[in-house]
Structure 1
Amino acid sequence: MAPLRIQPMPTYMDIHEIPGGITADEVAKAHAHDAAVEGKYGVHYHKYWVNERAGKIFCLCEAPNAEAAMQVHREAHGQTAEKIIQVEPDVADLFLGGSEVNSAGAVLLPGGAADARDPGIRTVLFTDIVESTLLTQTLGDDAAMELLQIHDSVVRDALKALNGREVKHTGDGIMASFVSAAAAVRCAAQIQRGLAQRAGEQSNHPVRVRIGGAAGEPVEHGNDIFGSTVQLAARLCSHAEPEQIVVSSVVADLCIGKGLMFRPLGEVSLKGFDRPVHAHSVEWSA
């Protein structure tokens, strides 16, 4: 008789919005109250991300179902979540990172000051090789694969240098996540410079990419983790010209005072978005 396979419980992430903001101590106390009652419902709240000024908390837990997770909050402190979504643990880790957690359960900001809380905001970048299908048709599979390997090498070197996390390979590009918006923009510029340098070494068929970036929170309008942010970054990437980096206004705002240069593009219309989006082009030079 085959041994029974125990299925892991689903993983959920929720968002709480507290008007007027919230303190780290208040969130820590609420999390402790969750821990005191979660066993009754077969739930385990692992950790949370908190943006004190914005009054937003994102909790990650394992639970039999979403209602059980909500019931823990309801009984523990009455602060029920505005929204809860089911997430794949490995996908959440790719976006948010293998986070260090303090004794209260708060995720700490990587590279930040001691005990600085991570607000959960991430910047997502997409790269896209220009005319990748045409390159394959023109050069053949082997030569096109060599160009893809050049792209992958340059992008991954830049991610390593700027603390980016590769989320997935899209076939003709890479999606990556960053804690720092400024690091994401610097990474994008390094990718363009690296490919420009490689183009000088093999001028016959240079690898050219367009890059798009957007920043946001893990639980937004859709039902996927960072769903709206991913969609916007992908659309901005598609909107970009070859060798151009286009980012959302949120990314540009997060980079104020970081010594980075942007050129406003005004409002751009993007597929899947009801309203035009303010976009900026990143100024970079080889």
Structure 2
Amino acid sequence: MPLFMDRHDIPKEITAEHVAKMHQEDLKVEHLYGCRGITYWCDDQKHHAFCLIEAPNKEALQKMHNAAHGDFPHSIIEVDENLVASFLGRIEDPENVDNASIPIIDDSAFRAIMLIETNNFLNRAEANQLSVFTQKFHRSVMNTLKKYNGTIVRQNDCTYLVSFESVSNAVFAALKLQSNIKFVTPKIDMGSRKVNIAIGSGTPVTTKDGLFEEVIAFTTRMCEVVKSEIVLSNEVHHLFSIENRAFQLDKKVVRVLTPKEEQFLTVLMDHIEAIWKSPNIKVEDLSLKLGYSKSQLNRKLKALTNTSPNNFVRDVKLNRSLSLFQKQLNNISEVAFEVGFNSPAYFTKCFHEKFGISPSKYTQQHIF
């Protein structure tokens, strides 16, 4: 039977005890709708509750809640059991639940989400260097995440997606990872050993379909777009500052986005996602669509990415070409046209300039 997670935005006057009673009411009627309430998360400080329920479909889940207490979920998504466990650490009631007549679960589903990307190094490394770097860096990542209680949700040779209960642990882990990088492969040029880390935060169910999908999407954009070794969302920095008032982050290493920069990044990438395959993207059209003059767009993009609008669009296309190569579905000419280059030769030239390796050599060493 499918597994769902729903979100309830609870009023300020509703406490964890109220939510516990509502959960008990669900359990009384769940059999009438073919459902099985497994567990829930409640954060009465942030005013959210999330239920994990087996149900035939979303409609049955909604009817069960309505019959039990009338509190209609604000959003429902289908979830994977393993992902829930990776992100949130459990798929059943926690062991330390109060042994009262009505067990009260006061357990937040809010998480700091970290993305680690090593693409800049891996895409241009020789095969033997790649193997050495990957092995040593993986050991460094695993040791650091263990120390700071981070849980790997997904990983491959280039990326790690990590969940943290503690924002402070996430930030300190990022600082440790970046400080360790120079010791991972000391014989390889430091300029080649680039690791980008971004940390966002959020809850598992929003208006987007997918567990933590909204924060993952935004954190990915921060990691891939913003020019910095470590990028923090404004919310992550705010929470970290509250917990560590005496600690000063190094601005040369850590970039904190302002709310206006976050809004600009979201609007920019939403539009780029819709047009990046086009071979004729003009800066004039881009600035008009985003509501900025050419000079304003250039200034904002330069501050965020340290590149011009034309180069930014080109880099997006080149980064997307890597995904196509990874899927092994296209040859070099087909990939060039697919990502919006009019000439395979020009694509090859740009690819080499960005990654320090030709597309053919890249596919030989890292794909085929």
- Residue of structure 1 in register with 2:36 after alignment: 44
Output the CA distance in 1 between the equivalents of 2:7 and 2:109. Answer: 11
**Aligned residue for 1:272?**
269
Mapped partners of 2:17, 2:143: distance in 1: 39
1:112-261 to 2 correspondence within 5 Å?
A: 117-136=106-125, 139-140=126-127, 142-199=128-185, 201-204=186-189, 207-241=193-227, 244-259=229-244, 260-261=247-248
How big is the shift at 1:145?
Answer: 2.1
Query: 1:63-114, CA deviations, whole angstroms, 9 ceiling, x for partnerless residues?
Result: 111111111100001111011110111111111112625255655xxxxxxx
Higher relative contact order (Cα pairs below 8 Å, separated by 6+ residues): 1
Q: Is contact 1:45-1:59 (8 Å) kept?
A: yes
Q: Is the 8 A contact 2:12 2:44 kept in 1?
A: no
CA contact (8 A) 1:48 1:106 kept: no
RMSD value, Cα: 2.4
Cα shift readout 1:197-219 (whole Å, capped 9, x = no counterpart): 335x3344663201011000111
Instruction: Provide the C-alpha distance between the structure 2 equivalents of 1:252 and 1:21, rounded to a whole number of angstroms.
Output: 28
Cα distance in 2 for partners of 1:273, 1:181 equals 27
Alpha-carbon offset, residue 184 of structure 1: 0.4
Q: How has the CA–CA distance of structure 1 residues 21 and 177 changed in structure 2, closer, same or farther, with 3 Å as cutoff?
A: farther
Which residues of structure 2 form unaligned runs of 5+? 272-289, 291-299, 305-368
Instruction: Give the number of equivalent residue pairs.
Output: 256
> For residue 251 of structure 1, what is the amino acid of its counterpart?
V
Query: What amino acid is the match of 1:272?
Result: M
Q: What secondary structure does 1:163 align onto?
A: coil
Structure of greater Rg = 2
Cα distance in 1 for residues equivalent to 2:113 and 2:216:
6
- Name stretches of at least 5 consecutive residues in structure 1 with no aligned partner: 1-8, 108-116, 281-286
Aligned to 1:283: none
Q: Deviations over 1:146-188 (max 9, x none)?
A: 2112221111111100000001114312110000111000110
TM-score by length of 2: 0.64
Contact 1:31 1:105 in 2 (8 A): no
Which of the pair is proportionally richer in strand?
1
- Which has the larger helix fraction? 2
Contact 2:75–2:207 (CA under 8 A) maintained in structure 1: no
Runs of 4 or more, structure 1, over 6 Å off, are none
Kept after mapping to 1: 8 A contact 2:7/2:76: yes
- Superposed, 1:11-22 pairs within 5 Å as 11-22=3-14
